[in-house]
Structure 1
Amino acid sequence: GVCEESCTALGYLSFLLCSLECFKDSDYIGQLAIALVDKLKANEYLPRVYLAYFSGAASWIRGAKLTLERLLRGYQVGMQIGDIENAMLSAFSYLIESFIYGRSLYELEREADTYMKQMIEYKQMVPKDLTLALQYAILSLKKGPSLMVCQNVQHSDLLKRAIENNNVPLGFYIYFFCGIESYIFGKYEAAASMVERRRQMEKQMSRRLLMNGMADFFDGLIFIAMARKTSDIKWSVEATNIVSKMESYAQNGTHTCEHKLLLLEAELEKNSGNAMAIYERAIAIAEKNELVHEQAIASERAADFLLRNGDHRASQYYGKAHNLYLQWGAQRKAVHLIKSIPF
C-alpha cells in the first residue's frame, strides 16, 4: 500500500536512478514522489523528497528555474518544521546548482555567506564545510587568491581536514573546484592532477557525483588541452571517452549538455572549416540556455582556435569572452584574459 513514508522511498529511488544515469526513469519516479507529497499533504517529508529529486533528475531535465525554486522551497519548509539537516543540505544543493548553472558569482557569494552563518548557528558542519569549499572557489574566480595550496592557506587547511577525517565528499568537491579553476586559468598540468585526485576520491564513494555533466565537461576540456600540449595518446583516449559519455547525456534529454558536447567536438575537430561552425553552435546554445560561464569558455576556446589559424576574428571572440566573464562575476579571470591575449 501507499503511506506517507512512500514518498520518501520514491524520492530516494529517484536519486539512486539518477546516480545510475537512468535520467528519464529517475524523473518519472521523482515526479511520483512529489505528487504523493502533495496528495497526502505530507509536509514533514517535503524537504528530503525535494532534495532527492531536485538535486537529482530534475536538475538535469527540468531546468534551472524550477530546480532552484524547489530547492529553496525545501530549505524554507525544513526550517519551518524543524528538519534542520535537510534544510541545510537543501541550501548547499541550491548553491552548488546555482554555480553549475552559472549564476552571478556576486549573488552567489552573498547567499553562501548567509547560509553558512546559519549552518554554523545550527551546528550543521557537513554542509558548512561543503559551502566553504564552494565559497573559496567563488572568491578564486572573483578576486583571488587561487585555490592552489601554495597560495591559499585557508583552503589548504580545509583540504587537510578533509583528508585527515576521511571526508570523501568534501575532498571530491575541493578537487572538483581546483580542477575547474586550474583549467580556466590555463594551468593544464595542475588541472589534470586535480582530476586524478578527484577520481581517487570517487573510487571511495558509493555513487559518483555527476554535477549535471559539469565534471565530465571540464575533464574533457582538460584532457584535450593536455593532448594538444604533450602529444601523449592517453589524453586523446580519455577525451574521446568523455565525448561518448556526453553524447549519452545529450541523447537522454539533459538540456545542459548539448553545448558541452558541441564544444568538446569543436576542440577535437580536425577540419578547421567545420570547427568554427561547431564553436558558434556551442556558443549560441549556451547563450540560449543562459549558461553565461560556459558561453564565456566556448568563446575563449573559439578565439584560441582563430588565433592558431591566423584569423583576425580572434580579437572579437576574446572581447566577447572577456565581457561574459565579467557578466558572470569572474573579475580575476577577465583580468587574466586581458593579460594573456598576445596582442
Structure 2
Amino acid sequence: YRLVADSAEPAGFNPSYRFQHDRVQQAAYALIAAQRTSEVHLFVGRLMLRHVGDAVPDDRLIDIVTHLNAGRPLIESGDERLRLAHLNLRAGIRAKRSAAYESALDYLRTAASLLPADPWCRMPELMRTLARESQQCAYLTGRADEAERWTEQMLERAQTDLERSDILATRTRQYATLGRMEESILSAIQGLLLLGVELTQHPSADDIAVERRRVEENLRGRRIADLVDAPPVEDAETLMAMRLFMETFAAAFLSGSGNLFPYLVLKAVNLSLRHGNCPESAFAYAAYGMLLCGELDDPAAGYQYGKVGLAINERLDDIALRARVIYVYAMFIHHWSNAWSSLTPWFRKGIEAGYQTGDLLYLAYSAQDCVIWDPTLDLETAYRRHAKNMEIVRECAYQDSLDSGTLFLQLQRNLLGLTDSPFSLGDDEFDEQACLAGMRQRQFMTGISNYHIYSTEICLLYNAYDRALEHVRMQDALVKSAMSLPQLVRYAIVSFLTLSSCFTQLPENDQPAVRRRLERDLAQMTRWADNCAQNFRHLQYLMEAELDRLDGARESALESYDRAINAARDSGFLHDEATASERAARHLIALGRERAAEGYLRGTHHLYTRWGARRKAAMMENEFPFLREMLHGARATIAGNGETWDLDLASVMKASRVISGEIVLSRLLKTSIEILLENAGGEWGCLVARREGMLTVEASVTPPNNDRCGDNVPRSAWVTLTQGGELALPVTLISHVLRTGEALVLHDATRGG
C-alpha cells in the first residue's frame, strides 16, 4: 500500500518490508515484463529516495543506488544524474572501506559515467575524490592500466606541488607492488624534490656517514625510548616527505640499490628527530632498527628502535601503516633478539592488518614469511602451512613476493625429495631458471640472493661442496640484498661450512684470505650470540669446531661439535642439530674412528628423519648401509596388542657424545643409563648381564623407593649388584629377553610384567 501515490501516510513514517521468501521475490520479479524492469527499478528507487529525503542514510544507500542504477538509462535530467553520481561515489567509498573492492569499482565507474562533459572543469572537487578512489580500487583489483590512467589525470589536474607529491607517493607504492622498482624509486625522488628535500640519487659512503652523524646530533642526549613521546609533526610538507620516504623503502631495499636504502632511511629518521612524530615515523624508526641489525651490526640498538616504531604506531592508533611496521619489525629486527619460533604470531598480525587496510604489498610479505622461520616445525607441517599462505600471496598478485615465497616452497620440496634432483629447486610445475631470469629482468636482487642462499644450503646438505662454492661466490656480490633478514644468518653458516669443507682443496694462494674471512664470520656470529644466545650460540660453536678441525685440534673440534649439538637441541633448531651431528661424524670418520662415528651417524639419521628431510635420510642410508639395517632392527612388536613402536635413537647419539668424558667403565655405564632414562621418560633402570649363568646388574639408577619395597618382593627377584648390594628386578622378563635376544616393550609394565 506504500506504493500508492496518494497515500495519506506521512513520509517520515518509513517502515521496511521484506518478501516472506526469496522464491516469492523471484516469482514476483518474473511477472514483470523484461522491457519494464528498468522502469520499475527506477520507480522504486525514486520512491525510496523521496521517502528518505535529502540525506540518504548509510543503511539505505546501497538499496536505493542499486534500484536507481538499474534504471539509469531512463534518467534524462542532468540534476538527477548528478545526484545519482554522488550517491554512487558514496556507495563506492563505503564498499571500499568494507574491502569489497570489485563492487566499489563498479559504483565508481557508474558515477563517472553519469557526469556531464568536461567534469574536471565543472566540478573539480568531485572529480579529485572520484579519481583518487577509482585509482585505488583499480589498483586493488589488479587493473594496473586503469589505475595508471587515473594517476595521469590527477597529475595533470593537480593544483599544488603538495598535491602532486601525494599522487606520486601513491604511485611509488603501487609501482613497488607491481615489481617496477626503478620506476617506484624515481617517483618517490621526484615527489621529494617537489617538496624541496635535498638529496642525491646516488649517495656515497660519505653521504651516509654524514646522515649518521646527524642522527646522533639530532638525538640531543635523548634516550631511544624517549622518542615515543616526541611532539607531533605540524606542517603538511614534512608529513608528505615522510610518506614519500616510507613508500620508497621497499623498492630501494629489494632492488639492491647499494647505498640508496640506508641513505633514505637515515634521511627520514633525521626528519622525524627534528620535526617530531607522525604515522610514518614509526616505519622510519623500524627501518633504522633494520639497518642497525644488519649493515651497522648493532642488533641491541636496532631492537630498541624497532620497539619504538611499534610503540609510535600504537600510540597514534594508526592502522593504515600497521602491516608494514609489523613486517619490518618481525622480518628484520625481532629475530636478532628473540626466539625464531616467536616470529609467526607477528606475521599473523601483519596479515590481519594488511587485510584491514588493503596494504597488498606488506600483506604479501607477511604471508610469504609467516611460518617458514619456525625451527621447531617439521618439514611436512611447515611445507603444508607455507603452501596455504602462498594462496594469499597469489591473491595479492605481487610477483616478487610470489617468487620469493615459491623459492622457499621449492627448497622445502627439495628436502622432502620432491624436486627433479638433489641439486635443483625445479620440478614439473616450477622452472627455476625461468624464475631466475624473471627476477633478473625486474632487478629483484633480494629474490636472486635468496635463490643462491637456498641453493648453497641444499648443495652443502648433500655434500656437493664444489656446487655450493659456486653459489657462495655468486651470493657474495649480493649480500647487501639479504641485509638483516633471517636468510643472512642462514648464509653466514652455510657459506662458512662450504668454505671450511673446501678449504684444503682451494689454491694455496687463496687459503690465507679465506681463513681471514672464516675468522671474521666467527667473530660476527659470536657478537650475534652474545646478543641472543638462543638463536646463534650453537652456530658459533659449530664454526669453532670447524676451525679447530682445520687446525688439527681433533679433540677440541669434537668437544665444540658436541657443544653445538647440545645448544641446537636446547634452542629447538632440529636442522642445525642434525648438521652439527653429521659434521662430528664425518670428522671422526676422517680420523679413522668409524666405530666412534656410528653413534653420531645414527643420531644424525634419526634427526633428519624427525625433521622430515627424506632425501637426506635416504642418501645417508645408501652411504652407510648399517643405518638401513638399524631401521629394520629397531622395531619391537608388543605381544598381545599388535602395536609397533619405533625406538628413539637420540639417546644413542647422546651417549656416544659423552663417552670421551667417561674413562671409568662404571661411570660410563651409569651415565649411559641416565641418558637412556632421560630420553625414555623413565624413573629408574639398570644394565643386566649374565655372568657364569647368573644375572648381574652392571650399573643402575636406583628407584627412589627401592629401600621400602623389599618386604613385598620374593627372594628370587633380587639380583646382585657388581658394586655390592642387591636390586629387585622382573627376573622372568629379563630371562626371556636374554634367552630370545628380542626387544620387549610393555604398554603397562606394572601389569604386563
1:260 pairs, out of 533, 539, 543, with: 539
Q: CA deviation at 1:250?
A: 2.0
In the other structure, the counterpart of 2:288 is 13
Provide the secondary structure at the position in 1 that maps to 2:592. coil
Aligned pairs, number:
340
**Contact 2:364–2:393 (8 Å) recurs in 1:** yes
Structure 1: stretches of 5+ with no match in the other structure: none
The 5-angstrom pairing of residues 197-212 of structure 1 reads 197-202=474-479, 205=481, 207=483, 209=485, 211=487
The alignment yields a C-alpha RMSD, in angstroms, of: 2.3
Provide the secondary structure at the position in 2 that maps to 1:310. coil
In structure 2, the CA distance between the partners of 1:223 and 1:106, relative to structure 1 (3 Å rule), is same
Q: CA deviation at 1:33?
A: 1.6
1:282 pairs, out of 552, 560, 564, with: 564
- What amino acid is the match of 2:585? A
2:465 pairs, out of 174, 188, 192, with: 188
Q: Partners in 2 of 1:126 and 1:147 — Cα distance?
A: 25
Q: Partners in 1 of 2:484 and 2:333 — Cα distance?
A: 14
2:380 pairs, out of 89, 106, 114, with: 106
In the other structure, the counterpart of 1:55 is 331
Structure that is richer in helix per residue: 1
Q: CA deviation at 1:74?
A: 0.9
**Contact 2:367–2:393 (8 Å) recurs in 1:** no
Q: Partners in 1 of 2:377 and 2:442 — Cα distance?
A: 32
- What amino acid is the match of 2:446? P
In structure 2, the CA distance between the partners of 1:249 and 1:206, relative to structure 1 (3 Å rule), is closer
- What amino acid is the match of 1:32? V
In the other structure, the counterpart of 2:431 is 154
Q: Partners in 2 of 1:164 and 1:148 — Cα distance?
A: 24
- What amino acid is the match of 1:110? R
**Contact 2:575–2:611 (8 Å) recurs in 1:** yes
- What amino acid is the match of 1:341? F
- What amino acid is the match of 2:286? G
**Contact 1:106–1:329 (8 Å) recurs in 2:** yes
**Contact 1:47–1:74 (8 Å) recurs in 2:** yes
In the other structure, the counterpart of 2:501 is 225
Provide the secondary structure at the position in 2 that maps to 1:55. helix
In structure 2, the CA distance between the partners of 1:177 and 1:85, relative to structure 1 (3 Å rule), is same
Q: Partners in 2 of 1:114 and 1:7 — Cα distance?
A: 30
- What amino acid is the match of 2:473? E
1:308 pairs, out of 577, 590, 595, with: 590
In the other structure, the counterpart of 1:174 is 451
- Residue by residue, what CA displacement relative to the aligned partner does 1:74-126 show, whole Å, maximum 9, x if unpaired? 1122113322211111122324433xx36322122212222222222221211
The alignment's TM-score, normalised by the length of structure 2, stands at: 0.43
**Contact 1:141–1:331 (8 Å) recurs in 2:** yes
Q: Partners in 2 of 1:221 and 1:171 — Cα distance?
A: 21
Q: Partners in 1 of 2:424 and 2:581 — Cα distance?
A: 29
Q: CA deviation at 1:265?
A: 0.9
In structure 2, the CA distance between the partners of 1:145 and 1:88, relative to structure 1 (3 Å rule), is same
Q: Partners in 2 of 1:322 and 1:276 — Cα distance?
A: 18
In structure 2, the CA distance between the partners of 1:255 and 1:16, relative to structure 1 (3 Å rule), is same
The alignment's TM-score, normalised by the length of structure 1, stands at: 0.91
Is residue 338 of structure 1 aligned with residue 338 of structure 2?
A: no
In the other structure, the counterpart of 2:314 is 38
- Residue by residue, what CA displacement relative to the aligned partner does 1:307-342 show, whole Å, maximum 9, x if unpaired? 222332211111111111112121111111221237
Stretch moving more, 293-302 or 324-333 = 324-333
Q: CA deviation at 1:170?
A: 1.3
In the other structure, the counterpart of 1:273 is 555
Higher RCO, 1 vs 2 (CA within 8 Å, ≥6 residues apart): 1
In the other structure, the counterpart of 1:122 is 396
Provide the secondary structure at the position in 1 that maps to 2:305. helix
1:248 pairs, out of 521, 527, 541, with: 527
Provide the secondary structure at the position in 2 that maps to 1:255. helix
Q: Partners in 1 of 2:389 and 2:555 — Cα distance?
A: 48
Q: Partners in 1 of 2:540 and 2:392 — Cα distance?
A: 38
In structure 2, the CA distance between the partners of 1:218 and 1:281, relative to structure 1 (3 Å rule), is same
- What amino acid is the match of 1:18? C
Q: Partners in 1 of 2:425 and 2:339 — Cα distance?
A: 38
Provide the secondary structure at the position in 2 that maps to 1:145. coil
In the other structure, the counterpart of 2:406 is 132
Q: Partners in 1 of 2:557 and 2:438 — Cα distance?
A: 44
